[in-house]
Amino acid sequence: MHLDHTHHGPAAVSADAHRPDGTRRALRIGLGGPVGSGKTATVAALCRALRDELSLAVVTNDIYTREDAEFLLREAVLPPERITAVETGACPHTAIRDDISANLEAVEDLEDEVGPLDLILVESGGDNLTATFSKGLVDAQIFVIDVAGGDDIPRKGGPGVTTADLLVVNKTDLAPYVGSDLARMAADAKAQRAELPVVFQSLRAEPGVTDVAAWVRGRLTAWAA
Amino acid sequence: MSRAALLVLADGRFPAGGHAHSGGAEAAVKAGRITSAASLEDFCRGRLHTAGLVAGALAAAAALGVEPRELDAAADARTPSPALRGAARRLGRQLMRAARASWPSAELDALAGEFPKGAHQPVVLGVAARAAGLGPADAAYCAAYESVSGPATATVRLLSLDPFDATGVLARLAPELDRVADAAVEAARRVLDEGVDALPAASGPVLEIGAEWHAAWPVRLFAS
Ligand SMILES: Nc1nc2c(ncn2[C@@H]2O[C@H](COP(=O)(O)OP(=O)(O)OP(=O)(O)O)[C@@H](O)[C@H]2O)c(=O)[nH]1
Ligand SMILES: [Mg+2]
């Protein structure tokens, strides 16, 4: 039930594709995955790749600091008013899945204050393999793992690996040093995910975030259609 | 009206943002005032009879239909710490979203329109209770219970306190919770004749000071 067509004031609910004024809201993409897998580095690289063609903003969900937001500010990937940090009370998965209200406020405030926006990236605090984003918060989600966390992670599966709209296996440059078998990771991911896409990337070497950026552009095209 | 709506509204999993707040417990743990189930109980008792009583009376008055704008101003006046006022408004805004999705009502819409960045959480709670068909006592119970359940849950995470001990604390406080809720409703009824000055103005100075101290930490687990 959408009361907003008859009443004024901010929207009652969250997942509506339109803002209270009737315009289409920004596409929201979540990035989740274990601690240190490269979520913030991927967000930073995506901002650099897309900021000249799109109006962008970022929400971070640190577990107990503002490190991710501060890293993005320090790297100057976006102007400061386009980066918001949400505090998660020791439970990052709760803030992106079970009780998304603080994150929804953050994305809505960004649209109000720096909009119109095409895309908002929401980074989850590093968590475990079961952490996924609510559909009420994001339109699509990327799960970022890395080769150094063990090459058996795709085989172990879990909701993030199995159901994310895009699985990113990051830090492929480290594979030789940690003895990770990329072919095996690819085969296991394929077995878990069937037709869902998987990208192997290293942000330390060309072409860096190119494949993920292309995937994001594809989602945006579908969203705007 | 459905009495069971109270269970929905009071459920700790009601998605209204409470999980990210410790109700002052994080500051109290760091300061060494909460170290065990016994000191958690002392802390919760203090909070119940101060912040809990005020929140209960505000919520009950809002549930009785007292003008939310006046109640919100009364809540500001009873909350010296700017950090706590900010937290109460953020939580009010988050509760507003969950309440409007759960119990669509013109009164909630009007409140959201008037306070787009959030009214004090107990005021929103009272209007939400009204929208759910609940009464002032229900609203007072919700607010008073939240004033102790939040710190208890947070302390389980902060101190790795045995969760059974923390739940035992809440159970032991139940008779006092009854009395606080009764007092809150009585005060709220007086507001109908005497105005918002009839609301209790109990406050815990250490809670207020602790909130300001906590808000300045660069590293913390909870938002307040
Ligand atoms: N070698 C290598 N290091 C990388 C790559 N991507 C990220 N890193 C490094 O990995 C470390 C963690 O990266 P972050 O982007 O902070 O990881 P995160 O997933 O955001 O971490 P949390 O938010 O703490 O969970 C940093 O030191 C990055 O520079 C990569 O492709 N190769
Ligand atoms: Mg990060």
Cα separations in angstroms, A86 against A108, A220, B125: 13, 24, 23
Give the single-character DSSP code of A65. Answer: S
Residue A207 counted as domain residue: yes
Residue with tokens 């709670």: B125
Domain, as residue range, for A132: 27-224
Chain A: residue nearest B19 by CA?
Answer: A89
Contacts of A66 in chain B (CB under 8 A): 218
Residue A136 counted as domain residue: yes
Instruction: For residue B88, give every residue at least 6 positions away whose Cβ sits within 8 Å of its Cβ, in sequence order, or none.
Output: B75, B79, B120, B121, B122
Residue B2 counted as domain residue: no
CA distance B23 to A89: 11
CATH code for the domain in which residue B114 is found:
1.10.4190.10
Q: Nearest-CA distance from A217 to chain B in Å?
A: 31
Q: Do B19 and A8 touch (CB under 8 A)?
A: no
Residue A128 counted as domain residue: yes
CA distance B211 to B203: 13
ipTM reported for the complex, 2 dp:
0.85
Residue B161 counted as domain residue: yes
Residue A8 pLDDT > 50, yes or no? no
CATH code for the domain in which residue A46 is found:
3.40.50.300
pLDDT, tens digit (0-9, with 9 covering 90-100), for B152-208: 999 999 999 999 999 999 999 999 999 999 999 999 999 999 999 999 999 999 999
Domain, as residue range, for B168: 20-215
pLDDT for the residue numbered A14 = 61
pLDDT for the residue numbered B179 = 98
Cα separations in angstroms, A36 against A40, A55, A172: 9, 27, 14
* CA B86-B92-B93 angle, 5° bins: 95
**Looking at the CA of A142, which ligand is closest?**
1
CA distance B176 to B53: 11
Residue B3 counted as domain residue: no
| Contact present, A119 and A26 (Cβ < 8 Å) | yes
What number of C-beta contacts closer than 8 Å exist between A and B?
Answer: 86
Ion ligand 2: residues, CB < 5 A:
A 39-40, 68
pLDDT, tens digit (0-9, with 9 covering 90-100), for B11-62: 989 999 999 999 999 999 999 999 999 999 999 999 999 999 999 999 999 9
Residue A183 CB: number of other CB atoms within 10 A?
Answer: 8
Q: Do A8 and B113 touch (CB under 8 A)?
A: yes
| Contact present, A85 and A62 (Cβ < 8 Å) | yes
pLDDT, tens digit (0-9, with 9 covering 90-100), for B128-147: 999 999 999 999 999 999 99
Residue A210 counted as domain residue: yes
* Ligand 1 near A68 CB (within 6 A): yes
Beta strands in chain A (DSSP E): 27-32, 56-62, 83-87, 119-123, 140-146, 166-170, 198-200
- % of chain A exceeding 90 in pLDDT: 76
Q: Do A13 and B97 touch (CB under 8 A)?
A: yes
Residue B103 counted as domain residue: yes
A142: nearest Cα among A121, A171, A112: A121
Residue A170 counted as domain residue: yes
Residue type, B103: W
Q: What's chain A's length in residues?
A: 225
Q: Do A99 and B104 touch (CB under 8 A)?
A: no
* CA B23-B25-B29 angle, 5° bins: 170
Chain A: residue nearest B20 by CA?
Answer: A89
Q: How many domains does chain A have?
A: 1
Helix axes B53-63, B68-77, angle to 10 degrees: 170
Residue A2 counted as domain residue: no
Residue B30 counted as domain residue: yes
| Contact present, A72 and A80 (Cβ < 8 Å) | no
* CA B43-B49-B54 angle, 5° bins: 120
Residue B60 counted as domain residue: yes
Residue B92 counted as domain residue: yes
* Ligand 1 near A170 CB (within 6 A): yes
Average pLDDT over residues A153-161: 92
Q: Nearest-CA distance from B182 to chain A in Å?
A: 31
pTM for this predicted structure? 0.90
Residue A17 counted as domain residue: no
Residue A18 counted as domain residue: no
Q: How many domains does chain B have?
A: 1
Q: Which residues of A are annotated as a binding site for GTP?
A: 33-40
CA distance A94 to B197: 39
